[in-house]
Amino acid sequence: MNTSNNNIYRKKSKDPFDILIHEKGLRINNLLIDKKLDLIVIVLNNGKVLQSHISFYKRLKSATQEQLNSWRLISGGVGVCWDDLDEDLSIKGFIKTSALNSALLDLQGKEPLENIVA
């Protein structure tokens, strides 16, 4: 019997985001969006709150408040989906995009760069 395939599934991730999400169970509990403030807030199941600008995401930026409010959690809270906008965001992608764009804004003093991290 070949067990090499089983070893792939037992292999632990070295990526700190994957460890938090897949091994520690980090999940999205709620999402708050305010288009006027250009603000998207993610409330996590560990009580932490992440925030970013809607304008960092091209499809979200051009959406109406009603469309932005029409979201659902996917993959047990690992991501968020806007079916009408054909947009999905994962916790991992949100953290990376938010951090990268914020750093670039601080360093360059320019407008947000859209969709830097897919």
How many C-beta neighbours within 10 Å does residue 80 have? 21
Residue 117 lies in a domain: no
**What's the pLDDT score for residue 79?**
96
Domain contains 113: no
* CATH label of the domain that carries residue 27: 3.30.2020.40
Whether 3 maps to a domain, the answer reads no
Amino acid letter for position 26: L
In a domain, 90, yes or no: yes
- Write out the residue range of the structural domain in which residue 87 sits: 14-108
Tokens 């999205």 — which residue? Answer: 28
Region of 36 (left: φ > 0; alpha: ψ -120 to 50; beta: rest) is alpha
Alpha helices by DSSP H, the chain: 4-10, 16-18, 58-61, 65-69, 91-108
116 inside domain: no
Q: Is residue 65 within 8 Å of residue 116, measured between CB atoms?
A: no
Contacts of 21 (CB under 8 A, 6+ apart): 27, 78, 91, 92
Q: How far apart are CA 8 and CA 93, in angstroms?
A: 24
| pLDDT tens digits for range 4-27 | 555 555 667 788 888 889 899 999
Query: For 28-77, how does the pLDDT look when each residue is reduced to its tens digit (9 = 90+)?
Result: 999 999 999 999 999 999 999 888 889 888 999 999 999 999 999 999 99
Amino acid at 82: W
pLDDT per position as a tens digit, 83-109: 999 999 999 998 888 778 778 777 876
Note the pLDDT of residue 117. 44
CA distance 79 to 73: 6
For residues 18 and 78, what is the distance between their CA atoms, to the nearest angstrom? 11
Q: What is the number of structural domains in the chain?
A: 1
For the cut 70, the answer to whether the pLDDT of residue 113 exceeds it is: no
Helix (H, G, I), strand (E, B) or coil at 118: coil
pTM, 2 dp:
0.74
